[in-house]
Amino acid sequence: MNKALYNFIFIALISFVFINCANRGTPQGGPKDIEPPKILKSEPENLSTNFTEQEIRIYFNEYIKIKDLQKQLIISPPMDPKPEITPLGGANKYISIKIIDTLEANTTYALNFGNSIVDNNEENPYPFYRYVFSTGDYIDSLTVKGQVFDALEKQPDDFVSVVLYEVDSTFTDSIIYKKTPKYVTNTLDSLTTFTIENVKAGQYMLIALKDGNQDYKFQQKTDKIGFHKSFINVPTDSIYNIKLFKEDIEFNATRPNLVSNEKIAFGYEGDYKGMNISILSEIPEDFEYTITKDEIADTLYYWYKPKLEVDSLVFNVTKDDFTKDFTLKIRSKEQDSLKINPQTTGNINFNEPYKISASTPFKAFDETKISIIDKDSLAIAFKSTFDSISNIVALDFEKTESNNYKIQMLPNSLTDFYGHSNDTLNFSIRTKAFSDYGNVRVSLKNAKYPIIIQLTDEKGEVKAEQFSNEPKFFDFRYVNPGNYLLRVIFDSNGNKIFDSGNYLKKQQPERVSYYPESIDVRANWDEIREFILLD
């Protein structure tokens, strides 16, 4: 090889190396870490017996951290106070569990971490790690399995606690309000099934709780509850289904307050129906009062006249077994003025009445001073009804498609409790075309009457419902397009409402069944569905 050729080859090689280096750019990292952390050892070892330690350490092969520990960690039986667990907010190669509670003798404890243990970099979880130990000579190994349903809603809540109370000489029905259970598990966030593990043989009460503050004690105002109809005996091969429900709150009246002149708000908890408000103070012969309900809040308004020149008034509130006296200080305030409010604006459905409410209670209503005229200036006949507790006047009339309606109320059409009346009022509404709506026809098989059948949205809000004592076709007409759920309530007492359960009365909620699919209601389309109900 001559010298010129050698130099050419040498220069070409050097240039190639430099070009390759220039194009290399930022080095690419290795493959993404998808491996969960591994446990190297535990001190004391998992499944230890005759446990007497105050601290547990679990060592890993890499740095780990703990996420959502409050939701994920389940300790069964519960410890009070709870153990101190680290790391929280940082990373470490081991988990430390410092036990503060005095442990029961001859008891198997389980700490289930769910998916809370993750590696520090990619947050790959160590799935459903359980550390189990016993203060006795052996590990209890029996299980209780089942599934949680919601009594009314299609999907149950997540993170539902399922617990066992031991039925022994200290057991009473009120234990769920006062003491923590013997064993605890959780449905977590994506499951409705449950397994309570490491249970010892015995008799138990099985309870499900959607526990607002996670103290494993039932609080009627905030928690949902479900219970098995009878005690269960462990060991068992049965699969237990529990319906979770919200109890009707026991009635209680709260201290009244003066809202405006001659208007007093009486707050309450529970069902107001049957609530009686009596004035105990001395009143003049011409004293009058009326009561209305707040549209949203749990409040009844007590309106009275004439104005009383007193420092305070005494009232008595009763309902069933409840009775309580209240003293209310009276001070000068402005009186509410009459304001008429249409409840319906814009479009109105064909099967919907036109509703009017007011800021003060209606006292008199003169139909002869009210007129309804359509877009062709034709007078429309109507019928009126008045609901005194909601303070709503409803005008019901036959409507045609794609029409406009004008409602006129001449002076003194409406008179309120204090003698105030309206000036001339004009309102307008309109209807859509029939083709803008869909219709749904439902036939039921194997239904036990009476029943309530409902169309709801995905959140469970009722959009249409019907009640029946006997078999028939259920026609839902003029339904706005959208996706709906269909549910049937077996109204066993025929009171036309869903009756929830009650733990102390051992009353299960009324049965509810959902059609398995959502119903897509389309404009100008008729849906026909057969709902076969299981026995």
Only one residue has tokens 């109900």, namely: 533
Answer positive or negative: Cα dihedral of 280, 283, 286, 291.
negative
| Distances 115 to 25, 67, 93, 95, 188 between C-alpha atoms, Å | 39, 8, 17, 14, 10
Residues with Cβ within 8 Å of residue 9, at least 6 apart in sequence: none
What is the Cα–Cα distance from 382 to 269, expressed in whole angstroms? 38
Domains within the chain, CATH numbers bracketed:
39-134 (2.60.40.1220), 142-244 (2.60.40), 252-329 (2.60.40.10), 340-432 (2.60.40.1220), 436-532 (2.60.40.1120)
| Distances 244 to 14, 167, 300, 464 between C-alpha atoms, Å | 77, 22, 30, 24
What is the Cα–Cα distance from 367 to 407, expressed in whole angstroms? 12
User: What is the pairing mode between strands 161-166 and 117-119?
Assistant: unpaired
DSSP 71: H
Order of strands, edge to edge, in the sheet holding 276-279?
276-279, 312-319, 322-329
In the prediction, which pLDDT does 187 show? Answer: 87
Evaluate whether 450 touches 491 at the Cβ level (below 8 Å): yes
In the prediction, which pLDDT does 28 show? Answer: 54
In the prediction, which pLDDT does 214 show? Answer: 79
What is the Cα–Cα distance from 337 to 359, expressed in whole angstroms? 7
In the prediction, which pLDDT does 171 show? Answer: 95
Which of 436, 299, 426 lies closest to 369 in space, CA to CA? 426
Predicted structure pTM score: 0.83
What is the Cα–Cα distance from 535 to 241, expressed in whole angstroms? 16
In the prediction, which pLDDT does 212 show? Answer: 80
Buried b (16+ CB within 10 A) or exposed e, 447-475: beebbbbbbbeeeeeeebeebeeeeeebe
Counting beta carbons within 10 angstroms of the beta carbon of residue 528, is it exposed (0 to 12), middle (13 to 18) or buried (19 or more)?
Answer: exposed
**pLDDT averaged per 10 residues, the chain (length 535):** 50 48 47 84 97 96 92 90 91 96 94 92 90 97 96 91 95 94 84 92 97 88 96 97 96 96 96 96 96 96 95 97 96 92 94 96 94 96 95 97 97 96 96 97 96 96 96 96 97 96 96 96 96 88
Answer positive or negative: Cα dihedral of 167, 77, 216, 207.
negative
CA 231 to chain centre: 28
Q: 3-class DSSP state for residue 23?
A: helix
DSSP 158: S
In the prediction, which pLDDT does 211 show? Answer: 87
